[in-house]
Amino acid sequence: MLDIKLIRENAAMIRARLSKRGGDYGLDALLSLDAQRLRLIQKTEQLKQSRNELSANIGEKKKSGENSDIEQAKSREIGGEIKALDESLKKTGEEIESMLLSIPNIPHESTPDGEDEAANREVLKWGEIPKFSFAPKSHVELGESLGILDFGRAAKIAGARFSLAKGPAAEMERALINFMLEIQTKEHGYTEVAPPFMVNTSAMTGSGQLPKFADDLFKIENSDYWLIPTAEVPVTNILSGELLDLSDLPISYAAYTPCFRAEAGSYGKDTIGLIRQHQFSKVELVKFTAPEDGERQLERILKDAEEILRRLNLPYRVVTLCSGDLGFSAAKTYDIEVWVPSQNKYREISSCSWFTDYQARRINLRFRRDKKSRPQFVHTLNGSGLAVGRTMVAVMENYQLENGSIEIPKALRPYMGGLDAIV
């Protein structure tokens, strides 16, 4: 959520920067409602002052036994006016709130301009793209011929976009989760958290998934619970409503959770395999920082996520998303894309974003710089560290041998009981 005061006082600047996302977002309507709201506040507060004075007066008269019928009648009359004004004030406030919730974050100045993913800017490439002396198979072919991935039976028990991992594949998923968490917690200083996999509407609204993106989510019937699409949702909301000290920051959390996505509107995309599933595992990194530290911490998260791919020796590149491709709540985002041999291209495996104070304002998470200063909003950030399903795709395909077996990356072997290959 953007600050209404910022919009009020810098309308032209906000309009210009939001236009880079390709939208107008109804700023004019918002500003006129805001002006109306300010007028209502002034009127109602003036009336409340009169009523408070009258009430104090009545109190004194009652105490001394005087008659206060005139004051009471006057106060009753004012009360009626206040009630009417408060009602329209509340209505106006709710309209403003819902308009604000539908306006995305302002792109950071270092976010490149552009309409869509074609304008994303490559930042770096790492690793050697493997040269196979044979036609590399997809992870689906490899997994099915090795008998370790079973999409047919997954469809039988759940449906399309689900998978069933068996034996070494199931073990590899568990190993990757542990491998990632170990590095992020033991080496990069994140505190591991194990949050709920379902959250309420308020938490979904706080991190920005609701109200606009309900179609992407799974809702539990007859309850206020939603399945989380990413650990970002429960973890970002851990500190909602709290007032921190500067010395508490930065706070870094790492969490493994399954993620559930409806994938509405992606029919026909990545219909087979592990790339796009209704349920997948992910290790997520979340940081809370002071504003001046936000940009630096985004670079940290990116490096922390990249480190997993480096240890696994998987080729990847990093791109900065352009304004038109940026997520709703983000001001700046780096995507990490891993090499997928069967598709002969890089595919997203991590997304690292800086939300400035946009999420913090929604969840009302503030900090106090020192004893004398007023509370201000923290900055929130997060990044995948990494998406486990897609990491499995990358490992299986990049480490395949001509006979259809898969070598286990050296760094992962200790997490798989020393296993060096799946044959």
Partner RNA sequence: GGAGGGAUGGCCGAGCGGUUUAAGGCGGCGGUCUUGAAAACCGUUGAGCGCUUGCGUUCCGCAGGUUCGAAUCCUGCUCCCUCCGCCA
**Angle in degrees, 0-180, between the axes of helices 139-146 and 168-182, rounded to the nearest 10:** 120
Q: Is residue 287 within 8 Å of 251, Cβ to Cβ?
A: yes
Mark the segment that binds RNA (CB under 7 A) among 16-24, 343-351, 371-379, 412-420.
371-379
Coil, helix or strand for 367? strand
Of 38 and 401, nearer to RNA (C-beta) is 38
Query: Which of 38, 220, 272, 421 forms a contact with RNA (CB under 7 A)?
Result: 38
**Toward RNA, which CB reaches closer, 189 or 196?**
196
For residue 392, the minimal CB distance to RNA (Å) is: 29
Catalytic residue among 351, 353, 366, 384: 351
Please count the residues of this chain forming the interface with RNA, following the rule CB under 7 A. 28
Beta carbon nearer to RNA, 302 or 363: 363
| CA nearest neighbour of 229 among 271, 183, 276, 184 | 276
- Residue from 411, 397, 165 nearest 309 by CA: 411
Backbone dihedral region for residue 400 (phi beyond 0: left; psi -120 to 50: alpha; all else: beta) = beta
The amino acid that residue 163 corresponds to is S
Say how many Å lie between the first and final Cα of the chain, rounded.
51
- Cβ of residue 38: shortest distance to RNA, in angstroms? 5
The conformational region for residue 370 under phi > 0 = left, psi -120 to 50 = alpha, else beta, is: beta
> 362 an active-site residue?
no
42 lies in the site for RNA, by CB under 7 A: yes
Let me know how long the chain is.
423
**Residue with Cβ nearer RNA (90 or 125):** 90
Other C-beta atoms closer than 10 Å to the C-beta of 246 total 13
Measured from the CB atom, is 90 or 121 closer to RNA?
90
Using alpha carbons only, give the angle 210, 211, 217 rounded to the nearest 5 degrees.
Answer: 50
How many whole angstroms separate alpha carbon 203 and alpha carbon 225?
A: 10
Binding mask 192-231 for RNA (x = CB under 7 A): ----------------------------------------
Reduced to 3 states (helix: H, G, I; strand: E, B; else coil), residue 366 is strand
Q: Is 41 a residue that touches RNA (CB under 7 A)?
A: yes
Please give the residues from 57 up to 116 whose contact with RNA meets the rule CB under 7 A: 58-59, 62-63, 72, 75-76, 79, 90
Q: How far is the CB of 243 from RNA (least distance, A)?
A: 5
AA identity, residue 318: V
Choosing from 21, 347, 390, 397, the catalytic residue is: 390
Site string for RNA, 340-369 (x = CB under 7 A): --------------------------x---
Does 371 bind RNA (CB under 7 A)? Our answer is yes
68 is catalytic: no
CA–CA separation, 394 vs 397, rounded Å? 5
52 contributes a contact to RNA by CB under 7 A:
yes
Specify whether 348 is catalytic: yes
Q: What residues contact residue 261 under an 8 Å CB cut-off, 6+ apart?
A: 216, 217, 218, 229, 277, 278
Least distance to RNA, CB of residue 50, Å:
8
351 is known as an active-site residue = yes
Among 123, 243, 264, 421, binds RNA (CB under 7 A): 243
Closest by alpha carbon to 358, among 397, 398, 327? 327
What are the tokens at 40?
A: 């209502």
Residue closer to RNA (CB basis): 71 or 171: 71
Strand runs labelled E in 208-344 = 226-227, 243-245, 251-260, 279-289, 316-320, 332-340
Catalytic residue among 17, 21, 261, 362: 261
**Given 141, 144, 348, 407, the catalytic residue:** 348
CB of 328 to RNA, least distance (A): 23
Catalytic residue among 8, 276, 317, 368: 276
Rounded Cα gap, residues 123 and 320, in angstroms: 7
Instruction: Give the binding site for RNA (CB under 7 A).
Output: 5, 38, 41-42, 45-46, 48-49, 51-56, 58-59, 62-63, 72, 75-76, 79, 90, 243, 366, 371, 374-375
Please give the positions annotated as active site: 261, 276, 348, 351, 390
